[in-house]
Each structure stands twice: as structure tokens, then as C-alpha cells.
Structure 1
Amino acid sequence: MADTTHVVGVDVGANNTRFVIVDLLGVTVLSREIATPIDVSPPELAEWVVAQVKTTAANGWHFIRYACVGLPGAVNQENNSVSNAPNLIQVEDRRFLDALEASFGIPIEIDNDANYALLGEQRFGVARDFPTAAMLTLGAGLGGSLAVDGTILRGRHGLVGEFGHLPVGPLGTRLEHMVTGPGIIRRASEAGISLASPAELFVANPPAHIASLRDQFDQALLIVLTALAVSCEPEIIVLSGGIAKSLSSSFSRYEDALRQNLQYAPRLVLSGLGDMSGAVGAAVSGLHRAYQELGVASDALATLPRRAA
């Protein structure tokens, strides 16, 4: 088993699906990113995911022992269900999960994509030296995850880190609708402002009407950063996603605001693994399952694998 076992980590997103196949040492065998077909039924989406993995793996498919799949929603580990996935509603349908399991034909695991992304960053990315850390993904959706002493916090219903549901805006507007790409465009339209893309909100020296929208964004973002900070006092918050990439020059300003409010501020950094962090973290989780089958103690998993994927 030790010489032949591979695992696959998959990150199914509303825009793109990414997967990585690794061996037992955590060395990447294959990786791929491909646009997600969104206008398909739940079973068809599941079958497409598996078909892409099998096609890319080709003759190496028979080496794959576990598949771990990250999804853009809250994953209830008790009943293996998914909720709160508005950007890819198919994954909430039980038929998606049933078809995924049947099509893979090997043991599978599902979890929230942000949980896997943080796991990937803690093993191979910028959070390697930080057992207590947090992740914030900002793009088409908002995802959050927390780790304490190297363990990802999940909760019974998979809602730990789902800060996008906080009703922080006017008339209870959810936080997710204020800091994500679609939310930025929607709020701009409501204000009578035309934005070709969310990136226009983050240009240097914007006109007054855009600056006002940016102030609202910053206030909402500080709310979620504060929520992450007080949830587990992370040493570091890793940010990823298209919106996060536009914010890197403002990280020190957000840190100063947190420090002024809390008398403490975690370090804010961009993801080291980029868009592949979720797939890599899913593969790490698959490796942990393989290691346990080989007799590795559970309390040793937080430091494994030790080689870069």
C-alpha cells in the first residue's frame, strides 16, 4: 500500500473545479483546473467531477484510494448533507452526493472548501508555523475557517466560520452580500453606480462615489476580520480569492484597525497556495485517512505530511 496509494483532493467551485492527486509523501502526481459547468443537474455535476478526475488520472486511477471533495457550503458531518451553497445550489441536493459516491466507487469525504483551504495552508502554505490560524476566502462567495492547535473547527452542523450570514448591513443585509464580488456589483447598482467589475472598487484614488462604496466594504470586512480574531485569537489570518488579491496593499491598514479595536491583531497574509489551497487541503485530509489506515496515531496527523505537495 505504501508504495502505490494515491489520494485525490477536489475543490468544486462555482466558477472552477480544481483537483490534485498526491502520493503518500504528499508529492503532487497530477493537478488540474477546469471551468465548472453550472447549468447541469446535481447528478450530472457529480458525474462530471468524477469523470474529470478519472480522465486526468488515466492509468493511475487504480492507485487512488481516497477522494476528498471540498464544497462551497456548510457540510453537516452528522448526516453528510450540504446547506448554504447559493453559488452552486446543486451540491445541496442529495442526488449530487449520492452520484458523487457512486461514480467515484472509492471511499469519499466531503467538507467545506474553506476548511480544506486552511488545512492546505497549514501543511504546505503560509500558515505552516501557525497551529492556531484562520482562513477567509473572498470571491464569488465568502468562506471562513478556524484552526486551534492544528485542528480545524467544524461544529455539528458545519456552520463554524460561516460569518457570511451575519446581518450587519441595512435592514439586516447579510455580510456575504457586502464583501463578495456579486455583492459589490449589486450594492453599486442599488446606489446607481456602474461598475464593470468588483476590481474597480479597489483602485487608487477613486472618485467620491466609489470611495463611499469602498468605505462600506471596508467596514463590513473589518466586521468579519474581527469575528475571526475573537473566535479563536488566531496568530494569522490567510486571505484568498479574487477580492482578497485586490486588498493586499491594504492589509496593514486593516491590521491597525483591528489593533486599535482589540489591542491585538493577527497577521493578515495572502494565500501561499493561491487558488489550489482547497484542493491541496482536501488531498491532505485524504492522506490523513490513509495514514490512519497504516496505523499512524491521530495526534500525529497535525504535522503530517512533511514534504511539500
Structure 2
Amino acid sequence: MEKKIIGIDLGGTSIKFAILTQAGEIQHKWSIATTILDEGSHIVPDMIASIKHQMELLGLSAENFLGIGMGSPGVVDRQEGTVVGAYNLNWKTKQAVKKQIESAIGIPFFIDNDANVAALGEQWVGAGGNHPDVVFVTLGTGVGGGVIADGHLIHGIAGGAGELGHIVVDFDQPIACTCGKKGCLETVASATGIVNLTRRYAESYAGDAALKALIDDGQEVTAKVVFDHAKEGDELGMIVYKNFSRYLGTACANIANILNPSTIVIGGGVSAAGDFLLEGLQEVFNTHAFPQIAKSTQLALADLGNDAGVIGAASLVLK
């Protein structure tokens, strides 16, 4: 019988697990809450207990598995299998994740950064179509990413490659980013960034758009609310949408001009705007990408949703 793989997607709120085939097909999945108390000291023991419990329920042993792969926030040392600086997990000191899991479960363990792992998932069985050259951009609370070239994740000399959210794109009214710089893509293209743009353009907007009325009334405005209004032709919503498209489309064109991937996959919560989001991006992308690159690099929406992390994590075992 072909050996299976366990994929783990470690997040600040929940830990997702899946048992997959070597072709990337999910056969069984589950999740547990992430307990970050006591400096995150419960996280790895909780994962070990959960995996052992599921293996027992399913009548499986270590011999049935090729390996375990995991995506984690923070700075990951892939060789040592350690994580440090994952502050949303309360992991301030170095965590020996690989050592703990391998000694407790007896299955080979592999780990990488969570954004890189999600990129691998989309590249392998998602919108990347298993092509060796794919870039993944995830638009959530922040902007993350992963770069796969010639079938390999690009990590860089210090493990910081693929920090696409920190490409500087806003030279108009640059906003301070959490990284300490100003004008990063994250400040204008994340869910938070779209709200930043809405407040910026609402200040100088003098019309009677419904979105402007919401802001003036002090109501909560989210990226979804902004895009929903833009889809309906709301004037302020369209101003925000066009500028969001300008910033993200320019960043995508610059990424493509350097790497010429087959696909730039757009994922994360903001990508729920769907084809409407892609239409604005494509127009700007076509304007700024080198002509041959504009023809050969596709923009696409992510396919895998919340499963990208566990699927990509499983692919670490095969790579």
C-alpha cells in the first residue's frame, strides 16, 4: 500500500491537519484550537497528541506514513526544524519542533514558512497547475507570498525571499507599514490596506456615494464592503478599486518582469472579490508588464482556499 503524508497548517487560532495521498489528494482532515498560553509551550504537545489520536482512530501506524510536513509562521530553520519569532503563537524563543515530533511519533518531519507552504499547495494541485514557475500572492490582514522557480521555493540568503507585501508601491501618500518602512504593498492591497485607501480618498471626495455616507456615519467599513460597493458602481468604491488595482497590478507586473512565471496566483480573503478583482489587475498588469511577459504570464485566483496550507505542507515531504 502506498504510504500516506500528514500535512499541518499551524495558525494563531487553529491548527489544521490532513492525511493525503502522494498525489496531493486529501483523504481525511481535522483541526484543533491553538493554545498559545505559557509561551506557546502547549502547541507541539497538542499536535503530537492529536496526530496520535487520529492515527489510533483510523488504525494507522508510523509505518503507513512517508512523512509529516508543516507550515508555520515565524522564522523557520528548515534544516534544524526550528521556529523562532512566531509572535502570534507566543513563540519568542527557538522551538525545536522537528525534534519533538520525530521523537514522539517516529515519522520524518519537514517544515517551512506558512506563506511558502501555501504557495507550494497552489503550485502543486491548485491554480498553478503543477508548473515549475509560479508566484503566490496572498491578500489577507497583510500581504504574503511565495516564489517557486524551476520547481524550487526561493528562500534567499536569510530566508526572507518572497516578502512580496513589502515591495514599495505607494509614493503618493505613503503609509507606515508594520515592518517600519512606508508605502509597502501591504499598506494598500491587504484587507487593512483597502480600508486605508478608502479613508484616504473619502477625505477629498465631495460626492454623495453610499460608501462615503457609511464612513461619515462612523460605520464599520471592511474590504468586502468596499468591493461590494464598487461592483455596484459606487463612485468612491470605484476610486478605491482603481487605485488598489493600480498598486497591486504594478507590483504583479514588476514581479512578472523579473521572474516570468507561468502564473501569479492571487489568494487570501480579499481574493473573494473574484473576477471583479482580476479585471482591474489585468488592465494595469498589461500596461506595465514587458509585452512578451504580459502574453505568457497569467493572473489567476487561488483554487484551494483553506486547504492550500495542508496540501503545500504535504508536498514538503515529497520535495
Normalising by structure 1, report the TM-score: 0.77
Look up the match of 1:43.
Answer: 41
Q: Which residue identity does 1:175 align to in structure 2?
A: L
State whether residues 75 and 157 of structure 1, in contact with CA within 8 Å, keep that contact through their aligned partners in structure 2.
no
Which position in structure 2 is the counterpart of 1:93? 93
- Equivalent position of 2:190 in the other structure: 180
Matches within 5 A, 1:226-237: 226-237=253-264
Identify the residue that residue 258 of structure 1 maps to in structure 2. Answer: 285
The answer to whether the 8 Å contact 1:71/1:91 transfers is no
Change in CA separation of 1:178 and 1:21 when aligned onto 2, cut-off 3 Å: same
- Does the 8 Å CA contact 2:7/2:311 hold for their aligned counterparts? yes
Distance in 1 between residues matched to 2:309 and 2:107, nearest whole Å: 20
Partner Cα separation in structure 1 for residue 197 and residue 35 of structure 2: 27
CA distance in 2, matches of 1:189, 1:106: 51
RMSD across aligned positions (CA): 3.2
> Cα offset for 1:61?
4.7
**Structure 1, gaps ≥5 residues long:** 289-309
More deviation, 37-46/136-145: 37-46
Q: CA deviation at 1:276?
A: 0.5
Give 2:266's aligned residue. 239
CA separation of 1:211/1:255 partners in 2, compared to 1, >3 Å: closer, same or farther?
A: closer
Alignment match, 1:164: 165
Structure-2 separation of matches of 1:133 and 1:85: 26
Deviations 1:66-85 (A, max 9, x none): 22111234534466555675
CA separation of 1:259/1:159 partners in 2, compared to 1, >3 Å: closer, same or farther?
same
Aligned length: 285
- CA contact under 8 A between 1:17 and 1:33: conserved in structure 2? yes
**For 2:42, what is the secondary structure of its paired residue?**
helix
The alignment status of 1:31 with 2:29, answered yes or no, reads yes
Counterpart code for 2:94: R
Q: Of the candidates 222, 233, 244, which is equivalent to residue 197 of structure 1?
A: 222
Q: Deviations over 1:20-42 (max 9, x none)?
A: 21245555332224554556632
Conserved 8 A contact 2:24-2:311? no
Q: Deviations over 1:9-54 (max 9, x none)?
A: 1112344432221245555332224554556632223333333333
When normalised by structure 2's length, the TM-score is: 0.75
What residue identity is the alignment partner of 1:94?
Answer: K
User: Which residue number in structure 2 is paired with residue 279 of structure 1?
Assistant: 310
Once the two structures are superposed, the pairs formed by residues 1-309 of structure 1 within 5 Å of their partners are 3=1, 5-24=3-22, 26-34=24-32, 36-37=34-35, 41-58=39-56, 59-62=59-62, 63-77=64-78, 82=83, 88-91=88-91, 93-95=93-95, 97=97, 106-128=107-129, 130-169=131-170, 170=174, 172-185=182-195, 193=215, 194-203=219-228, 204-205=231-232, 207-262=234-289, 263=291, 264-265=293-294, 266-288=297-319
- C-alpha contact 2:18 2:30 (8 A) present in aligned 1: yes
**Structure 2 gap segments, 5+ residues each:** 176-181, 204-214
SS of 1:32's equivalent?
A: strand
1:258 maps to amino acid:
F
- Specify the code of the residue in structure 1 equivalent to 2:190: T
Residues 74-83 or 162-171, more deviating: 74-83
What code does the residue aligned with 2:273 have? S
Classify 1:161/1:252 alpha carbon distance in 2 versus 1 (closer, same or farther; 3 Å).
Answer: same
- Say if 1:69 and 1:282, in contact at 8 Å, map to a contact too: yes
